[in-house]
Amino acid sequence: MRQLSRRAALAFGAGGAALTIVGWDRPAFAAAKEAADEIAKFTGGKTAAKAKVSIELPEIAENGNTVPLAVSIDAPMTAENYVSEVLVVAEGNPNPGVATFHFSPMSGKAEASTRIRLATTQNIVVVAKTSKGEFFTGQKLVKVTIGGCGG
Amino acid sequence: MITRREILQVGAATAALTVGGGFTRALAQQKLTESELTKFDALGNVTLLHVADIHGQLMPVYFREPSINLGVGEDKGQPPHLTGGDFLQRFGIPAKSAAAYAMTSEDFSALAKSYGRIGGLDRLATVVKRVRAERGDKVLFLDGGDTWQGSLGANASRGQDMVDCMALLKPDAMTGHWEFTYGEARVKELIKGLGFPFLALNVRDTEWNEPVFPPYKMFEKGGVKIAVLGQAFPYQPIANPRWLIPNWSFGIREDDIRANVEKVRKAGAQLVVLLSHNGFDVDRKLAGRVQGIDVILTGHTHDALPEAIKVGKTLLIASGSHGKFLSRLDLDVQNGALKGFRYKLIPLFADAIKPDAEMTAAVTKARAPYAKELARVVGKADSLLYRRGNFNGTFDDLICAALLKERDAEIVLSPGFRWGTSVLPGTPITVEDIHNATAITYPQVYRMAMSGQRLKEILEDVADNLFNPDPYYQQGGDMVRCGGLGYAIDVGKPIGSRISAMTHLKTGKPIDPNKDYTVAGWASVNEGTLGPPVWELVERYIAAEKTVRMAPNSSVKISGV
């Protein structure tokens, strides 16, 4: 019988390691608390309304190392009332703060896109702040999976 | 000597059961003639014909439908998550009838002997031509994908045999899934020669995030402007190797579907059809969230349903797999609104439907280079070999047994694919049968050490692909098959806590999370996996065993149903 070479075993291992899968004993609450702190800092403790935020993210990540993210806030962008900042937080990442986007009335629309790295299956929380001091929020669950058995 | 066809027609005189629905009744009465099977009280101004998940099967097949097909969340107990007697009762189908044989697993081996094989592109061609002759310019014929893969010939010709034969049927459009496993270059090459569009609104290139394929095509049939939107399998780079299509990104992309529906409505579409490879539960959720789709032609999860399922104003059609069925959906579209419909899932009983000579010739030609190899007998099945089912199938048990022995492994992991034909008890196992269960472009059987912890992670991960209560997080395969490993599963629990009582079957000891086990498996999605092709090992095992008999598998304990 042909033996599987060491290289093949390594190749499999390397592929496996590229995606960190959900551990059933991962202390998720620790990261979630850090994320909550991050959000509280951004809002100054105010409650954000669950509205106006749309998040474009895959349900299941094709590659946890580079997940395409687009956010847009359905709110006015006038000199008197505009979205000034948008915070993106990944609840399950070792460093939950992913990005803060800054806008001005000149931006026309509060939208941005980037690629983010996700260590594991988790919620991505987006919080928008307006020049009037209002806060809006939305979130989406992105699953990071081993894959390979669909069909 | 009475032929099987004669027996079927004699049967017509006997069992006169009165049940609802033209199709069901005809089958209940055992009138298995071509004209009865295709009989249809035409309606309206459009006829949609749909096939999906043919999986490389040019010839009529035996294919046992699942006996376990669990739904979770809102899909629990809903079609298609009904099997056996529950399925028959829900759709008013008499036990042991031809319809029961075609759509369920009840008494499969016995009924297969009476009713014979189902499918074959030449039978499909006959019925497609019949409907076209009857309905003329009202007909739109759509292929839901998973057409180019699943057999020795398809794999050896890299999809060419299927493309050549399907071309004779002149589909109006298709979408895909396993098609992509031939790699980007080959997919592009085959599409170039199709003569009809390959639609996939949910595939974008990874560099610029731009659409790779046309998202939709507008048709005019029966005076009705019809938009057909294509939706490829959303989880291609996750469920199958990403390295084969590294520049393409998939996903459900619900917003893109919504945007395209609005666009085609604005462009004057009076009927909007989604040709989908999402899987039934995904499409059911989608239908409840995206307005403006009249019909979703579902695929991927291989469900065969004799009725259209209605979600809001959207009709969902499930046309089965392996070429067993053709769906006919007649629609009455007036002033841009769907006023009425009539539906029939037509089972293509090979002994009742006359093969189309042109297609028979094309199929024979396509199979000629492999004919001798396909027919070569490797051994004999002493019990039914089948694959479909959420947790195991006897063909997979056979593959697992082969890999345990041939790769000298403690544990085997075998993918939960939903394609693969059945072999009846007491019949030979041919090379064709083996490849019908294994023909993929990444067939290498690896052998490696895996910790008990890692094994549990894999089982949990795959279980969540199947039993996540939100269909958008399901990938549409069945559970990974395990050789040498038993476990308990509570399908109602969340990821991380479904799997318990993992046991190394040989020793009877619990799996130790910290111990390494020698694991063999195939269909790894990782590039550079080395090892012999799975069909080689399965063949060697069957040849050595001569006759295989698979005992009922009791190694998976299911709860939370």
Residue in B417, B447, B525 nearest the CB of A147 = B525
Residues of A in contact with B497 (CB under 8 A): 24
Q: Looking at this predicted complex, what is its ipTM?
A: 0.88
Residues of B in contact with A146 (CB under 8 A): 457-458, 461-462
Phi, psi of B371 (to 5 degrees): -55, -45
Which positions in chain B touch A2 (Cβ < 8 Å)? 531-532
Q: In what order do the strands lie in the sheet with A67-73?
A: A53-56, A67-73, A110-116
Looking at the complex, report in whole angstroms how far the Cα of residue B480 sits from the nearest Cα belonging to chain A: 7
Contact A3 B447 (CB under 8 A): yes
pLDDT tens readout for residues B286-304? 999 999 999 999 999 999 9
pLDDT beyond 60 at A56? yes
- For B13, other C-beta atoms within 10 Å of its C-beta total 10
User: Residue B1: pLDDT above 60?
Assistant: no
Residues of B in contact with A53 (CB under 8 A): none
> In which region does residue B356 sit, left (phi positive, over 0), alpha (psi from -120 to 50) or beta (all else)?
beta
- Please indicate, yes or no, whether the overall pTM of this predicted structure exceeds 0.95: no
Residues facing residue A114 across a β-bridge: A69
Cα separation, B239 vs B523, in Å, equals 10
In chain B, what percentage of residues exceed pLDDT 90?
Answer: 93
Using the predicted structure, report yes or no on whether residue A57 has a pLDDT greater than 90.
yes
Q: How far apart are CA B107 and CA B213, in angstroms?
A: 44
- Give me the numbers of helices (H) and strands (E) for chain A, helices first please: 2, 7
Closest-CA residue to B102 (of B89, B81, B116): B116
Q: Does A2 touch chain B (CB under 8 A)?
A: yes
**CB–CB contact B464 A15 (8 Å):** no
- CA distances for A128 relative to A21, A79, A80, angstroms: 30, 17, 16
Residues in chain A within 8 Å Cβ distance of B238: 60-62, 145, 147-148, 150
User: Inter-chain contact A148–B529, Cβ cutoff 8 Å?
Assistant: no
Q: Say what the pLDDT of residue B31 is.
A: 67
Q: Which helix (H) or strand (E) holds B340?
A: strand B337-347
Among B89, B102, B21, CA closest to B63: B102
Q: Which two tokens stand for residue B214?
A: 């046309």
Superfamily classification of domain B48-62+116-365? Metallo-dependent phosphatases (3.60.21.10)
The pLDDT of residue A122 is 95
- Looking at residue A31, its pLDDT comes to 75
Helix, coil or strand: residue B118: strand
The predicted model gives B27-32 an average pLDDT of 59
Where does the pLDDT of residue A29 fall: very low under 50, low under 70, confident under 90, or very high at 90 and above?
low
Q: How confident is the model at residue B45 (pLDDT cuts 50, 70, 90)?
A: very high
Which of A4, A56, A62 has its CB closest to that of B249?
A: A62
A146 pLDDT band, cuts 50/70/90, is confident
Choose the closest CB to A8 out of B252, B462, B528.
B528
The first and second tokens of residue B357, run together, are: 């000579």
| Nearest chain B Cα distance for residue A124, angstroms | 16
Degrees, nearest 5: CA angle B424-B425-B430: 60
Instruction: For chain A, positions 30-89, list CB contacts with chain B under 8 A.
Output: 56, 58-63, 68
Average of per-residue pLDDT across B235-263: 97
Residue B361 token pair = 């010739």
The pLDDT tens digits of the residues spanning B83-120 come to: 999 999 999 999 999 999 999 999 999 999 999 999 99
Mutate: best of B487, B526, B527, B536, partner A, most A CBs <10 A: B526
Contact A15 B527 (CB under 8 A): yes
Long-range contact pairs involving A33-39 (C-beta distance under 8 Å, separation at least 24): A34/A96, A35/A89, A35/A90, A35/A91, A35/A96, A35/A125, A38/A87, A38/A89, A38/A96, A38/A97, A39/A87, A39/A89, A39/A125, A39/A127
Whether the CB-CB separation of B231 and B201 falls below 8 Å is answered with yes
Interface size A-B, in CB pairs within 8 Å, comes to 137
Question: Which residues of chain A does B454 touch, with a Cβ-Cβ cutoff of 8 Å?
Answer: 16
Q: Taking all residues of chain B, what is their mean pLDDT, rounded to a whole number?
A: 94
B428 min Cα distance to partner chain A (Å):
26
In chain B, where the domains are located:
1-31+69-115, 48-62+116-365, 376-559
- The amino acid that residue B189 corresponds to is E
pLDDT digits (tens, 9 = 90+) for B375-419: 999 999 999 999 999 999 999 999 999 999 999 999 999 999 999
How does pLDDT run across B172-225, given as a tens digit for each residue? 999 999 999 999 999 999 999 999 999 999 999 999 999 999 999 999 999 999
- Residue numbers in B near A145 (CB within 8 A): 238, 461, 464-465
pLDDT category of residue B130 using cuts at 50, 70 and 90? very high
From the list B456, B475, B526, the residue facing A150 with the nearest CB is: B475
Confidence bin at B476 (pLDDT 50/70/90): confident
B376-559: same fold as B48-62+116-365? no
B179 or A6: whose pLDDT is higher? Answer: B179
For chain A, the domains span: 25-142
Output the six-digit token pair for A49.
């309304």
How many residues are recorded in chain B?
561
- The DSSP string of B27-58 is HHTT--SHHHHH-----SSEEEEEE---TT--
Q: What is the mean pLDDT of residues B1-9?
A: 47
Cross-chain Cβ contact A21/B462 below 8 Å? no
A9 touches chain B (CB under 8 A): yes
The CATH code belonging to domain A25-142 is 2.60.40.2470
In the CATH hierarchy, which fold is given to the domain comprising B376-559?
Answer: 5'-nucleotidase;  domain 2 (3.90.780)
CB B30 within 8 A of CB B15: yes
Phi/psi for B77 (5° steps) reads 75, 0
Q: Tell me whether residues B525 and A15 touch, CB distance under 8 A.
A: yes
| Alpha carbon separation from B101 to A8, A121, B28, B126 (Å, rounded) | 44, 42, 11, 22
Point out the residue among B415, B460, B473 whose CB comes nearest to the CB of A149: B415
